[in-house]
Amino acid sequence: MVLNKKILKRLERSYRKAFPGDLDKYLLAKYGEEPFPYEFTEQDLYENIRRDICNYETGELDVTVKTRSKYLREELKHLKGLYIERLDEIRDLRDYIIELEHKLSEHGLESPRMADERLQTRSSEI
């Protein structure tokens, strides 16, 4: 779910006040698109907006709207970080699989992958 002008007007009615123009622009820019690769639920959207409005009223929210290129650069940096984390997880899981397969082979057992490799080796020898 994303914020649009109609929802923003409904929020203003529920808060019984008009939001300043800079806050309107900020909220529409921040919540006007789904945060790739996620999606806002209605509850998340309203809760995030409520928190931003409270922070704005206490002077704790910078409502400067980022340029599209700056926003995309920050998103790319975030996604690169997630990608690197997933690569680290994959490496750790592969190491764990190798460790488990070694323990299986110590006891004369094998995983399906080990069996496939054994069968492929035999068929290539023939």
DSSP string across 36-100: TT----HHHHHHHHHHHHHHHHTT----PPPPHHHHHHHHHHHHHHHHHHHHHHHHHHHHHHHHH
pLDDT per residue as tens digits for the range 52-90: 999 999 999 999 888 889 988 998 999 999 999 999 999
Q: Tokens standing for 120?
A: 């492929």
* DSSP one-letter code for 18: P
Tell me the Ramachandran region of residue 39: left when phi exceeds 0, alpha when psi lies from -120 to 50, beta otherwise.
beta
Please tell me the total number of residues recorded for the chain in this structure: 126
Answer yes or no: do 49 and 73 share one domain.
no
Answer yes or no: do 80 and 117 share one domain.
yes
In a domain, 97, yes or no: yes
Answer yes or no: do 11 and 40 share one domain.
yes
Answer yes or no: do 93 and 114 share one domain.
yes
Q: How many domains, the chain?
A: 2
Answer yes or no: do 74 and 53 share one domain.
no
Number of Cα atoms under 13 Å in the Cβ half of residue 53? 19
In a domain, 27, yes or no: yes
Q: Residue 76: its pLDDT value, please? A: 93
Answer yes or no: do 53 and 85 share one domain.
no
- Residue 3, exposed/middle/buried by CB under 10 A (0-12, 13-18, 19+)? buried
Domain encompassing residue 53: 5-57
In a domain, 117, yes or no: yes
Q: Residue 37: its pLDDT value, please? A: 74
Answer yes or no: do 76 and 51 share one domain.
no
Does the pTM surpass 0.75? The reply is no
In a domain, 31, yes or no: yes
pLDDT per residue as tens digits for the range 12-42: 999 999 999 999 999 999 999 888 778 889 9
In a domain, 63, yes or no: no
